[in-house]
Structure 1
Amino acid sequence: MSDANASNHASRPTVVVVIPFYNGADFIERSVKSVFNQTVPADEVIVVNDGSRPEEREALGALSTRYPFRIVDKENGGQGSARNAGVAASTSAYICFLDQDDFYLPNHIELLVNAIPAGDARFGYVYADLYEADVDGNVVRTELVKQHAKHNPKTSIFDLLRYDMFVLPSATIVGRAAFDAVGGFDPQFMGFEDDDLFLRIFRKGYSNHYLDRAVTVWCIHTESTSFGIRMIRSRYRFFKKLAQTFPDEPKRGRFYLRDYLMPRFGKLFVDHAIQAIKLDNEYRGEMFEHLDDYVHMVVTNPYVGVRAKTKLRITRFLLAHSSPGMVRAIGTATKFPLIRGFRRIYRTEA
């Protein structure tokens, strides 16, 4: 390394890349390779084996002989706990994350490091846009965040509660001080742990900055953590945490359940119950427990309107007395009046 390059390397921020790994041997080489092909290299690369099967761990070990990354082994606990373990094992001042089935664009680290504002004493994170791709990395669209997020950067807790944040860890660089100040990811979540983390960093008064460039390719497929029962359970836990953290403040005219949480989560709880009835699967009872808890919170809240409560009660009654065959029939007969009951009756009207 030349004297000039050595000086530039020493003066720039140090960066660790943390990759959670769980039975992901089919994808991990693509992810790791993208990290080692960066225009600005990471100072540390840590892959956290989150309790994978022995043969998967063996494949990861073989890969580490070709790429100089460090492996941290732990019992299975989900992506959040794996990321926490990787951060704890590192020393760099800034943290980048990468999911095992995604991959960085070549200038990921360079762009994010250059977007860190000089002199920001309360720096939290810089987040950027992503490409959406299929499982093979074939691009579907190139402006995922811009098309979904309401406001960039984040400036209001009300927007963070009402809408999905679309701050994706794989397209973000986080200051260690901010990460440590909030205790990292909440390990109870296996889904929504990113919204929870970045919301808590925001509430602690750390800054966030949006880079209007794609830096990562987000590969979406049915085996991703974005799908399945773990995500549904995590969504419910996240809703409960938000409801407990943000009680209504009538004197300030802030009605969190009615105005922010119901519009965001209510439709999903109803849809989960509908899907469980349709499939008549082992999760039907659990989905109705979630729905019943949500219904109880709504009907006992004094600031939710009578009409919205009545609609929700009727929805719950209809679902409780519907067979799998009935729900499937309604789903295919879109002009049948009851379909509007299932799909529209739960809409919130305060």
Structure 2
Amino acid sequence: MNSSPTSVAGGTGVSPTVVVIIPFYNGADFIERSVRSVFEQSVPANEVIVVNDGSRPEERAALDALAERYPFRILDKENGGQGSARNAGVAASTSEYICFLDQDDFYLPNHIEILVEAIPAKEARFGFVYADLYEADADANVIRTGVVKLGAKSHPKTDLFDLLRHDMFVLPSASLISRTAFDAVGGFDPQFTGYEDDDLFLRIFRKGYTNHFVDRAVTVWCIHTASTSFGVRMVRSRFRYFMKLAAAFPDEPRRSLYYLRDYLVPRFQAYFVDHAIDSTKHDNEFRAEMLDILEQYAAVVLANPSVGRKSKLKLRMVIFLLRRVSPSTVAAIGSLTKLPGLSAVRRLLD
């Protein structure tokens, strides 16, 4: 590794130091592609750390074999999730700027160069710079080339209410973060295995650090069914994030700010309803848990005086149906779109 990148941040004349941190959990099928992309950068990283988050012994052995060809550091820890692995990597590093990379994704060749050049000169409250990325399948076949631009309309992030109402689409694997800002907010919240990125960047924003968007792709984001984006872990994490936001942003009637009604319900409710409907239709092993999550969510909404009675009635009706009718009936109701009297129920179940 080169000890000093050739690019200069923001025209300051000072070469920044950059660490790349890759959380690893039983990802031997993908990790070589990720690591290779880091060592093929046009501007090299000063440090590369792969954090083994309690993988199986044979998976851990794959890292040793890979480290014989690429000079990265391996950090071992007990399994604690992606957020805790990233935090451990940051704690073990010294560089002033931080880049992350998920084990199944990979950098485009000028990832570090583009992001370092976007660091503004002499900005005391610099927080992070983020860019776009490609979406691809597990074999790196490209599906889309503008995920961030298409996913969120507001760049850079300037409005708290927009950040509460919508997913941020700031991905750690396509970002460069100031260590000062990262440390100021305590890093990732390890309770999340999904939404930990939104949570981190929201807290950095709230601390008054700046953010900047680069309208270029720097990473290839490979989506497949084993990704954190899929499965029950994401559902659980989404619910934890909703609860954290609901607690952090109580309504302020004197300022006419009704966070739950105007921002959190529009953002999260459809997810929780859809998860419960889908698990009920298929009568799968997570049916009881998904219904329980929906009921816990509903308890928060029903207790809030700003949410209208009609909205509360619809939510109660959905829960009543899912608790009392059979999976086949739920599926049948969902498919009936033209019969008189059922259109309202159909809308509730969609």
Paired residues for 1:57-136 under 5 Å: 57-136=60-139
Q: Paired residue for 2:275?
A: 272
* 334 and 221 in structure 1: CA distance in 2 versus 1, 3 angstrom threshold: farther
Q: Does residue 1:212 correspond to 2:215, yes or no?
A: yes
Q: Does residue 1:261 correspond to 2:235, yes or no?
A: no
Amino acid at match of 1:275: D
**What is the CA–CA distance in structure 2 between the aligned matches of 1:44 and 1:294, rounded to whole Å?**
42
- What is the root-mean-square deviation of aligned Cα atoms in Å? 2.2
- Contact 1:258 1:304 (C-alpha < 8 Å) held by counterparts: yes
**What is the CA–CA distance in structure 2 between the aligned matches of 1:181 and 1:5, rounded to whole Å?**
25
Identity %: 70
**What is the CA–CA distance in structure 1 between the aligned matches of 2:342 and 2:56, rounded to whole Å?**
44
Q: How far did 1:288 drift?
A: 1.6
Q: Secondary structure at the match of 1:297?
A: helix
Q: Secondary structure at the match of 1:61?
A: helix
Paired residues for 1:132-171 under 5 Å: 132-171=135-174
**What is the CA–CA distance in structure 1 between the aligned matches of 2:73 and 2:340, rounded to whole Å?**
59
Amino acid at match of 2:59: E
* 99 and 83 in structure 1: CA distance in 2 versus 1, 3 angstrom threshold: same
Q: Paired residue for 1:196?
A: 199
Q: How far did 1:287 drift?
A: 1.4
- Contact 1:23 1:56 (C-alpha < 8 Å) held by counterparts: yes
Query: Tell me, which stretches of 5 or more residues in structure 1 are unaligned?
Result: none
**What is the CA–CA distance in structure 2 between the aligned matches of 1:280 and 1:108, rounded to whole Å?**
44
TM-score by length of 2: 0.94
Q: Between 320-329 and 91-100, report the one with greater CA deviation.
A: 320-329
**What is the CA–CA distance in structure 2 between the aligned matches of 1:47 and 1:221, rounded to whole Å?**
21
- Contact 1:330 1:336 (C-alpha < 8 Å) held by counterparts: no
**What is the CA–CA distance in structure 1 between the aligned matches of 2:341 and 2:16, rounded to whole Å?**
59
Q: Secondary structure at the match of 2:169?
A: coil
- Contact 1:312 1:346 (C-alpha < 8 Å) held by counterparts: no
* 211 and 5 in structure 1: CA distance in 2 versus 1, 3 angstrom threshold: closer
Instruction: Choose which of 218, 238, 241 in structure 1 pairs with 2:241.
Output: 238
Q: Paired residue for 1:55?
A: 58
Q: Paired residue for 2:26?
A: 23
Amino acid at match of 1:345: L
Q: How far did 1:341 drift?
A: 4.2
**What is the CA–CA distance in structure 2 between the aligned matches of 1:18 and 1:142, rounded to whole Å?**
24
Q: Between 161-170 and 8-17, report the one with greater CA deviation.
A: 8-17
Query: Tell me, which stretches of 5 or more residues in structure 2 are unaligned?
Result: none
TM-score by length of 1: 0.94
Amino acid at match of 2:175: T
